[in-house]
Amino acid sequence: MLKERELVLVATEASTPLAQRVAAVMGIECAEMVRKCFADGEVYHAFPANVAGRHLIIIGSTHDDSSHQEVLDLIAGGNYWNAASINVVIPFLGYSTMERVKPFSREIPKGITRTRQIFLARPSFVAFVDLHSEAVLHAHSGQIGTMHIWTDRLVVDKIRSLELGDYVLVSPDYGFSKRVARLASRLECPHTAADKDRYETDKTIVGQVSSVVRGRIAIVCDDMIRTGGSIIQTANRCLDAGATEVYVMATHLVMAGTARTRFENSPIRKIIGSDTYPGVTSDELLDVYSVAPLIGEILLSHLNY
């Protein structure tokens, strides 16, 4: 078993609250990085403790450009100061929906290229939470350990804790239906998928939902909420098909632009999600659970393998 003094856990600035919760699960301290910003915009970082010969843990969502760069800087710093290993957890991977390009489009698949930048910084191990696509796991040459952390156990426990009675899980499209089927199997409840078509970058149209929702509470499940358009459409189709109420369950609560206002004006009763996206907390609309217990357990298991 590794001793506490052999581990150093740090985080990007935005993901520090989650990292503190992970550290509590692991029974170690979350060491605060030393940060300064110079007048010309350059950012100074220093490790708060000696990392040479120690196992460095870095927790950081790459939800914006500065956080993505900070993850790269911390990995590079760990290598520079001779950490024994560099173990990275990306709770939310930015650009994760851009893992494919259309032929002859000249698009840049930033889900792949940005994940490749993380791998090229030479960490020892990288774990991602509820990826939009597992294609990004293969954006390296095979010299780095990777893991896809599924939050199924936490989601199942959370839904059970709501004590909703008769409910059905609904996928907003067929692409996510396998995950929803897996959750439904564990919850021993029915499931279905909506018909969804995308006609612009951030615009979709949802056709219909099966009558299996009739007389039941519908829980619309997805990996993330960005603008909320397809989720709200799916909720409305569920009510059209006879659902009594609609809840939403999504791991990553991005809630971009006017998404919150749109949800507040929608028939959705509650949005349930995790703390992977920085700054998200529970309130009248959001019911937020933490992924820290799962991340902490996996890191302890990995580091003591």
Check: CB of residue 122 under 8 Å from CB of residue 141: no
Which phi and psi (to 5°) does residue 181 adopt?
Answer: -60, -40
Closest CA to 123 of 100, 104, 147, 105: 147
- Taking the C-alpha atoms of residue 110 and residue 128, their distance in angstroms, rounded to an integer, is 16
> H-type helices in 203-290, by residue range?
229-240, 259-264
Which phi and psi (to 5°) does residue 284 adopt?
Answer: -60, -30
Place of tokens 């996928």: 171
- Taking the C-alpha atoms of residue 272 and residue 231, their distance in angstroms, rounded to an integer, is 13
Check: CB of residue 30 under 8 Å from CB of residue 9: yes
The confidence score (pLDDT) of residue 211 equals 79
- Taking the C-alpha atoms of residue 218 and residue 130, their distance in angstroms, rounded to an integer, is 22
Check: CB of residue 77 under 8 Å from CB of residue 49: no
Residues of the chain with CATH 3.40.50.2020: 4-149+293-303, 152-274
Which phi and psi (to 5°) does residue 9 adopt?
Answer: -110, 125
Question: Angle, nearest 10°, between helix axes 292-303 and 16-26?
Answer: 60
- Taking the C-alpha atoms of residue 219 and residue 246, their distance in angstroms, rounded to an integer, is 6
At residue 297's C-alpha, the angle toward residues 49 and 152, to 5°, is 135
Number of Cβ within 10 Å of residue 78's Cβ equals 29
The confidence score (pLDDT) of residue 199 equals 40
Q: Which helix (H) or strand (E) holds 65?
A: helix 65-80
- Taking the C-alpha atoms of residue 64 and residue 15, their distance in angstroms, rounded to an integer, is 12
pLDDT tens, the chain, 305 aa long: 666 679 999 999 999 999 999 999 999 999 999 999 999 999 999 999 999 999 999 999 999 999 999 999 999 999 999 999 999 999 999 998 888 888 999 999 999 999 999 999 999 999 999 999 888 888 886 789 999 999 999 999 999 999 999 999 999 887 788 999 999 999 999 999 886 545 444 455 455 577 789 999 999 999 999 998 889 989 998 998 899 999 999 999 999 999 999 999 999 999 999 999 999 999 999 999 999 999 999 999 999 76
- Taking the C-alpha atoms of residue 185 and residue 198, their distance in angstroms, rounded to an integer, is 28
Number of Cβ within 10 Å of residue 156's Cβ equals 16
Got the DSSP string for 175-218?
A: GGHHHHHHHHHHHT--EEE--EEEEETTEEEE----GGGTTSEE
pTM to 2 decimal places: 0.92
| Helices (runs of H) and strands (runs of E) counted in the chain | 8, 15
In CATH terms, 152-274 corresponds, of 3.40.50.1980, 3.40.50.1000, 3.40.50.2020, 3.40.50.300, to: 3.40.50.2020
DSSP state, residue 132: S
In CATH terms, 4-149+293-303 corresponds, of 3.40.50.620, 3.40.50.2020, 3.40.50.1820, 3.40.1440.10, to: 3.40.50.2020
Sorted by sequence, the CB contacts under 8 Å of residue 34 that are 6+ apart come out as 44, 45, 46, 47, 48
Helix/strand/coil percent split, the chain, to 5: 35, 25, 40
Structure-token pair, residue 22? 């992970």
Structure-token pair, residue 150? 């599924």
